[in-house]
A and B are shown apart, each in its own frame.
Chain A
Amino acid sequence: MSAASLYVDRASPIHRLDPRSTLALVTAVFVAGYAFDDPRYAAVPLAAAFVALVAVGGWQNFKRLSPIVAALFLVGLVVWPAFTAPGGPTLVAVGPVVLSERELLFALARSERIAVFIVGGLLFVTTTANEEIVRGMRQVGVPYAFCFAVGTALRLFPTFLEAAGTVKQAQEARGLDLSDGGPIARLRRSVPLLIPVFMTAFRNVNTQSMALEARGFDTRRERTFYGARPLSAADWAVVVAAVGVVVGVVWLRLSGYGML
């Protein structure tokens, strides 16, 4: 994996797809993940996306974001029950904390929904180079300014992480200890990390925007793409399969499947 990108250069079947087909595939995964309230149904697209991500060499990318996914499920268990009515047998009853089966399933499904977006998005960026992402999005009609912003954000993400790592080392070398204390104390101690990270990011963005303008960058003009090619039979097959998944998922949902 290149240090400058989340893209993993492999020759997997998903890597070989046109970015528009990969986009269709990932969109189908998103729709399938979003459609159901029952975590057993929502787990299917999540598991499929995860298996595909690992199969195409994206495990390291997932590991980078795994703390976020873990936090998502942990925080979700606390937050989501507040947004649904209790139902079914009571699973936990400790003092004022009461968790019913329905609340637990609802929380799991909601966390799975968000996790699908993370894992599906990672699958997309792991298998599609930045310039291909920009081309794919533009070819399906997304405004170029937005495509460029997405491409730039993805390219800068690893740089941002690297800067955050250096800042952490610089402050640890001056005795900053983030490992102990409660959440409030840790949050307060993270200020010496957050300010340099964001200041560095702002300075970089400012310099980059000036460098772009100095080279006559203009988002309004139409673009041509060197790597543009028509969709192959395999690409079309994936697009048709993705449409089939979306139609099937919508039909299942309208038929009452995957509800709590």
Chain B
Amino acid sequence: MLALVGHNGSGKTTLAKHLNGLHSPDAGSVRYAGREVDDYSMSAIGRDVGYVFQNPDHQIFADTVREEVAFGPENFGLSGDELDRRVRRALETVELDGLADADPFALSKGQRQRVALAGILATDPSVIVFDEPTTGLDATQRDRFMGLVAELNRRERMTVVMITHSMETVARYAPRTVVLRDGRVVYDGSTRRLFADRDRLDANDLQPPHVVEAANRLAAARGMTDALPALSVDELAAGLGGENA
């Protein structure tokens, strides 16, 4: 799972839209599975690289959740039992299987976000790109949504690229982070190393989450200058000799 971070206007969404051919590069190249993305048809790349837009309302149009989720796979040529199976499985994955016949416009923002995700999952992609997946979700919805994404990454071996401003989400879920500034990659590496580098964080207007900040200060107070920070409360507690130590 990879996080794409940077301040507003740094080029995160522009870069992400190159990954499934929504944008074409003016210079350089973007490759998927060894081939230029531009050489794929939109439907071929769309099948492999799903893109979940920031605002689910930019894609929801159908009368029922089931129809909405079936839209993508139907466009990619699926029908009959296989289509039903994919839709059912996608709805089960996002825990909306009880709402298959509901009107998607009547659902909460978090549920609409999950309908949008199910619509992409039903196309069975190898890569999913999320544009600010947790915007507008409350803490419970956010944890649930990101838990789901992490599960897809772990269990289904799905590559996840997420654009986010939430450093807590980055610390907790993304082992690799790419930092963009003014359209250029200024860091590509371990999230833990990024959060250990105060100068780099400051230079890119990034604020580490409280738990990382606390870990960094504790390490500095103990004279551990080369220590890498804990990225979650669990890790910090373990480091301090608490549970799971």
Contacts and interface: CB of A to CB of B under 8 A. Distances in A.
B57 A174 contact: no
B42 A177 contact: yes
B76 A173 contact: no
Given A173-B22, A174-B46, A177-B42, A166 B71 contact: no
B58 A166 contact: yes
A169 B17 contact: yes
B187 interface: no
Given A177-B75, A196-B57, A196-B58, A169 B22 contact: yes
A111 B75 CA distance: 38
Contacts of B43: 175, 177
A172 interface: yes
Interface string B173-209: 0000000000000000000000000000000000000
Contacts of A163: 58
Nearest to B76: A175
A206 to B, nearest CB: 12
Contacts of A169: 17, 22, 53
B72 A199 contact: no
Interface-central residue, B61, B71, B72, B120, by most chain A CB under 10 Å: B61
Contact of A175 (B17, B55, B105, B123): B123
B61 A174 contact: no
B81 to A, nearest CB: 20
B47 A175 contact: yes
A195 B120 contact: no
B60 interface: yes
Nearest to B73: A175
Interface in A152-195: 163, 166-167, 169-177, 191-195
A260 B52 CA distance: 57
Contacts of A176: 71, 75
B42 A200 contact: no
B72 A170 contact: no
B20 interface: yes
Contacts of A174: 46, 59, 71-72, 75, 119-120, 123
B145 interface: no
A63 interface: no
Contacts of A199: 57, 60-61, 105
A167 B76 CA distance: 18
Contacts of A191: 61
Interface string A191-218: 1111110011001000000000000000
B70 to A, nearest CB: 10
A163 B149 CA distance: 26
B91 to A, nearest CB: 16
Given A170-B51, A173-B50, 8 more contacts: A174-B59, A175-B43, A175-B75, A175-B123, A177-B42, A196-B58, A196-B59, A196-B60
Interface of A: 163, 166-167, 169-177, 191-196, 199-200, 203
Chain A to chain B: the 9 pairs with minimum beta-carbon distance, closest first: A175-B75, A195-B61, A174-B72, A170-B59, A173-B51, A192-B61, A175-B43, A170-B53, A175-B76
